[in-house]
Amino acid sequence: MHTLRLIALVALTTLLAACASSSSGSAYSRDEARKTQTVKTGVVESVRAVKIEGTKTPVGPATGAVVGGVAGSTVGHGKGRTIATVVGAVAGGLAGAAIEEGVTRKDGIEITVKLDSGGLVAIVQEADEQFHPGEKPPVF
């Protein structure tokens, strides 16, 4: 029974990780590829660490509910089994939602840039690149 739960947890985690999308400054969506981009220049004013919240899709709760329901169905007999199945499905759905959000949460950075045109912009992206005040990165 513990093996079944472990396999289900690994399957859920793998499924949720596959659903994660990138918030990297180096990653472009399929729609952005092969299109002209407008580039603005400026100077980095500040950089601060932020958290990028994880995804909240129906996949995590649904998968968790199925796993929890299956696990609950192995407990008791008759009405007790039915109650255990329902409780397992509800608890699994809640756990699946929490796991999805946690697995897909990312460390990020907020880069504030003073544009050469005089404007000020802030860009949030994954913390996979280094930026420092005084630098002149391109801003899209």
Cβ proximity of 92 and 68 under 8 Å: yes
Q: Are residues 60 and 23 in the same domain?
A: yes
Calculated CA dihedral for residues 119, 35, 16, 85, nearest 10 degrees: 100
Q: Are residues 59 and 16 in the same domain?
A: yes
Distance, in Å, from the CA atom of 114 to the CA atom of 117, rounded to the nearest integer, reads: 8
Q: Are residues 128 and 73 in the same domain?
A: no
Q: For position 47, what pLDDT does the model report? A: 94
Q: Is the pTM of this model over 0.85?
A: no
Q: Which amino acid belongs to residue 38?
A: T
Specify the pairing of strand 120-126 against strand 138-139. unpaired
Indicate which CATH number applies to the domain containing 139. Answer: 2.40.50
Domain that holds residue 122: 36-53+106-140
* pLDDT tens sequence for the chain (140 residues): 455 454 555 555 555 444 445 666 666 677 767 788 788 889 999 999 998 877 777 777 778 877 877 777 787 788 887 887 788 888 888 887 878 777 778 889 999 999 999 999 998 888 888 889 998 876 65
